[in-house]
């Protein structure tokens, strides 16, 4: 398999807290990798250090053999790392179309006309109809699609999706699953952080399980979900929740 | 087409002004165009989400650089404007590198402090005349008001041109994305620090130019009046009254408040500032989006019969 992204021994510390502890993984072209684990396991932090929003404390990240650990986020975006945010962060000044255009304008340095064409074809692909609507007027599903569209507009090598299913009903979830599969088929490495286990089992080719910043298991979801340490990590979470 | 014809007529009227109005009114418009430059350049920075209070500082700096270069290098005042622009841009670039890392209230307060630092420097250097300031024997163009008017009009048009360039190019998307959500902007490939420095240097250079021309009009600088808070607060009021985050808003606001303040000064020599402040407060309270859009709709619909304006 073609490894698009390699994270080697990456570590992120916040003061005394180690949010990501010396983890190594890679993502391949045309596969969907799941990152799962209980709340606070460090899943979003992994995305943040790879997309460059947070600096690494230690370790190495390479994109197609190219060292990117010290690059600012906008350069990583141009090289092919795209992401969505857990809580959607649309650009409120702009329409849905313009939001997606921004990704093409800067992620791919297209001209305005080219970026608009690209944004239109992405809206078609996503089935996003109300392209001239202002962000305030969009539904949750439309906002999620917009977030996905903006991330796709830069034609990424690897796309990180941080809980895109959160807040969607089951038919919307199915629509989103189909979309993500189609994106994968375009030759993009897709990496999903997901809480809904049904989605993880349907969508992912393989998963890594994080707990307290460390990888405690990796492999196909069906196998991993039966492992004792994985069950314990999730059960532990439930016990802690029960105490609240 | 009708819209462009309207703008063209306005432009021709503005250029031909000196031929049909008297010196007093010409002076009023000259001041309006200087403040328009200040208001619009402040608004450019606001479009990136940064509230800058450095405008009066760069205004005064431009004025001082222009005076010092004329008096010590004995160059033409017109040439000194270039020095003022380059100096203000260079200082904005050097200070911008660290200061533009700050956000929100921290950025605002540091820019306010910087403006004060410039004033203290001007007050304490020998070359700037210390607390007594400097006087030149002659105003720019030998005191010719018409030439000065066209120079100031040219500066205002240049500022409008730059503002429209920002509004129509990729910069528009970069600036407003940064204001909306910096994380999304970064994740979308926008170079935040480069965008901010481009806008900060551009707006500071324009403010330096405005200060230089203003000072050369009177051939005179004094620390507390050249760095007066008026050059900070009035442009902000103009942008707010006209409508921020656009070219037209600050332009309309500058003309509107400029004319109002002059009119009030004429009809009530004492206490006119009270009414002036009241006008600003009432407009900002009841028309928070500024007066430009309502005024534009009236012009487009009633006068030009274009209809369909939002």
CB contact under 8 A, B187 and A93: no
Q: In what order do the strands lie in the sheet with A81-83?
A: A81-83, A158-162, A189-193, A32-36, A206-211, A214-219
| ipTM of this complex prediction, to 2 decimal places | 0.91
Mean pLDDT of B57-86: 96
As a whole number, mean pLDDT of residues A189-193 equals 96
Using 50, 70 and 90 to split pLDDT, how confident is the model at A1?
low
Q: With contacts defined as CB-CB under 8 Å, which chain B residues touch A105?
A: 170, 173
Name residue A237's beta-bridge partners. none
d(CA A51, CA B25): 58
The larger pLDDT score, comparing residue B300 to residue A103, is at: A103
Out of A72, A77, A112, the one facing B188 most closely (by C-beta) is A77
DSSP line for B15-71: HHHHHHS-HHHHHHHHHHHHHHHHHHHHHHHHHTT-----HHHHHHHHHHHHHHHHH
CA proximity to A112, closest of B171, B198, B163: B171
Q: Give the per-residue pLDDT at B222.
A: 95
Alpha-carbon torsion, ordered B302, B303, B307, B308, to 10 deg: -90
Q: What is the pLDDT of residue B18?
A: 93
Q: Please give the pLDDT value at position A2.
A: 74
Q: Which of B177, B179, B187 best probes binding to A when mutated, by most A CB atoms within 10 angstroms?
A: B187
CB-based contact A85 B183, cutoff 8 Å: yes
Mean pLDDT of the A135-149 span: 94
Residue of B nearest to A47 (CA): B187
How many domains are contained in chain B? 1
Mean pLDDT of B82-86: 98
pLDDT at A195 over 80: yes
What is the nearest CA distance from A134 to chain B, expressed in angstroms?
13
Which residue has 């400029």 as its token pair? Answer: B258
Average of per-residue pLDDT values in chain A: 92
What is the reported pLDDT for A235?
Answer: 74
Q: Decide if A12 touches B, using CB distance below 8 A.
A: no
Yes or no, beta carbons of A85 and B189 under 8 Å apart: no
**What is the predicted pLDDT for the residue at B297?**
83
Chain A CB contacts of B170 under 8 Å are 105-106, 112
Of the pLDDT bands very low, low, confident and very high (cuts 50, 70, 90), residue A238 is: low
Please state, in angstroms and rounded to a whole number, the distance separating the CA atoms of residues B95 and A239.
Answer: 53
Structural domain of residue B99, as residue ranges?
2-309
The average confidence (pLDDT) of chain B is 93
Could you say which of B169, B176, B188 has the minimum Cβ distance to residue A107?
B188
Best to test chain B binding among A49, A53, A102 (most B CBs inside 10 Å): A102
The C-alpha R_g of chain A, in whole angstroms, comes to 18
What does the pLDDT look like over A158-182, one tens digit per residue?
999 999 999 999 999 999 999 999 9
Residue B107 has a pLDDT of 97
The pLDDT of B267-291, averaged and rounded, is: 88
Residue A5: the pLDDT is 96
Determine contact: B306 vs chain A, CB below 8 A: no
What percent of chain A is modeled with pLDDT above 90? 85
Among the partner-chain residues B170, B180, B192, the one whose CB lies closest to the CB of A105 is B170
Distance from CA of A3 to the nearest CA of B (A): 22
What is the per-residue pLDDT for B79?
Answer: 96
Closest CA to A157 of A187, A131, A135, A177: A187
Given a cut of 90, is residue B303 above it in pLDDT? no
A239 pLDDT more than 80: no
What percent of chain A is modeled with pLDDT above 70? 96
Give the list of residues 6+ apart from residue A192 with CB closer than 8 angstroms, or none.
A32, A33, A34, A35, A160, A161, A164, A180, A199, A200, A203, A204
Task: Tell me the pLDDT tens digit for each residue of B130-160.
Answer: 999 999 999 999 989 999 999 999 999 999 9
Say if the Cβ atoms of A53 and B183 lie within 8 Å: yes
- In whole angstroms, how large is the CA radius of gyration of chain B? 20
CATH number at residue B33: 1.10.3470
CB distance A98–B191 less than 8 Å?
no
Whether residue A82 and residue B187 make contact (CB cut-off 8 A), yes or no, is yes
Q: How confident is the model over B191-204, as a mean pLDDT?
A: 98
User: Nearest 5°: CA angle at B274, between B268 and B275?
Assistant: 70
The CA distance from B213 to B66, in Å, is 8
Query: Collapsing DSSP states into helix, strand and coil, what is residue A210?
Result: strand
Give the single-character DSSP code of A40. T
- For residue A159, what are the β-bridge partners? A82, A190
> Which chain A residues contact residue B184 at CB under 8 A?
85, 89-91, 150
Interface contact B177-A82, CB threshold 8 A: no
């Amino acid at each position: 398999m073609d490894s698009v992204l390699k994270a080697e021994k990456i570590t992120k510390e916040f003061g005394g807290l180690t949010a990501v502890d010396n983890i190594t993984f890679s993502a391949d072209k045309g596969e969907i990798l799941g990152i799962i684990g209980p709340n606070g396991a460090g899943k979003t932090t992994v995305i943040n250090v790879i997309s460059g929003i947070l600096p690494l404390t230690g370790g190495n990240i390479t994109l197609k053999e190219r060292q990117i650990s010290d690059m600012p986020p906008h350069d990583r975006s141009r090289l092919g790392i795209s992401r969505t945010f857990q809580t959607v962060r649309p650009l409120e000044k702009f329409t849905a179309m313009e939001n997606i255009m921004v990704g093409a304008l800067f992620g791919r340095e297209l001209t305005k006309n080219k970026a608009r064409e690209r944004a239109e074809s992405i809206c078609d692909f996503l089935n996003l109809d109300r392209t001239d609507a202002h962000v305030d007027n969009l539904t949750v599903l439309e906002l999620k699609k917009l977030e996905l569209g903006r991330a796709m507009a830069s034609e990424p090598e690897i796309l990180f999706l941080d809980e895109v299913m959160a807040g969607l009903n089951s038919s919307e979830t199915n629509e989103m699953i189909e979309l993500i599969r189609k994106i994968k088929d375009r030759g993009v490495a897709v990496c999903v952080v997901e809480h809904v286990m049904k989605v993880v089992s349907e969508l992912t080719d393989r998963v890594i399980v994080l707990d307290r910043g460390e990888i405690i298991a990796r492999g196909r979801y069906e196998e991993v979900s039966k492992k004792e340490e994985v069950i314990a990590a999730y059960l532990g979470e439930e016990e802690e929740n029960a105490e609240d | 087409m009708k819209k462009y014809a309207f703008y063209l007529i306005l432009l021709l009227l503005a250029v031909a002004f000196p031929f049909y109005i008297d010196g007093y009114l010409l002076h009023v418009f000259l001041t309006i165009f200087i403040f328009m430059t200040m208001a619009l350049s402040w608004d450019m920075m606001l479009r990136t989400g940064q509230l800058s209070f450095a405008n009066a500082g760069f205004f005064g700096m431009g004025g001082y650089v222009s005076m010092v270069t004329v008096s010590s290098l004995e160059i033409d005042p017109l040439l000194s404007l270039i020095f003022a622009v380059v100096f203000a841009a260079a200082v904005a670039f050097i200070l911008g590198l660290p200061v533009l890392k700050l956000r929100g209230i921290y950025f605002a307060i540091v820019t306010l402090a910087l403006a004060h630092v410039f004033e203290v420097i001007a007050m304490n250097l020998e070359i700037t005349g210390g607390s007594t300031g400097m006087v030149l024997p002659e105003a720019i163009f030998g005191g010719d008001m018409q030439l000065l008017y066209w120079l100031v009009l040219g500066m205002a048009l240049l500022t409008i041109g730059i503002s429209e360039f920002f509004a129509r190019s990729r910069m528009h998307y970069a600036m407003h994305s940064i204001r909306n959500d910096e994380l999304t902007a970064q994740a979308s490939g926008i170079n935040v620090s480069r965008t901010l420095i481009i806008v900060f240097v551009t707006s500071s250079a324009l403010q330096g130019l405005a200060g230089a021309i203003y000072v050369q009009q009177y051939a005179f600088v004094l620390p507390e009046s050249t760095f007066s808070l008026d050059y900070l607060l009035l442009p902000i009021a103009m942008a707010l009254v006209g409508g921020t985050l656009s070219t037209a808003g600050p332009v309309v606001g500058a003309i509107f408040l400029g004319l109002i303040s002059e009119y009030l000064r004429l009809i009530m020599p004492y206490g006119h500032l009270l009414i002036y402040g009241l006008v600003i407060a009432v407009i900002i309270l009841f028309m928070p989006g500024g007066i430009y859009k309502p005024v534009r709709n009236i012009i487009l619909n009633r006068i030009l019969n274009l209809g369909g304006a939002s």
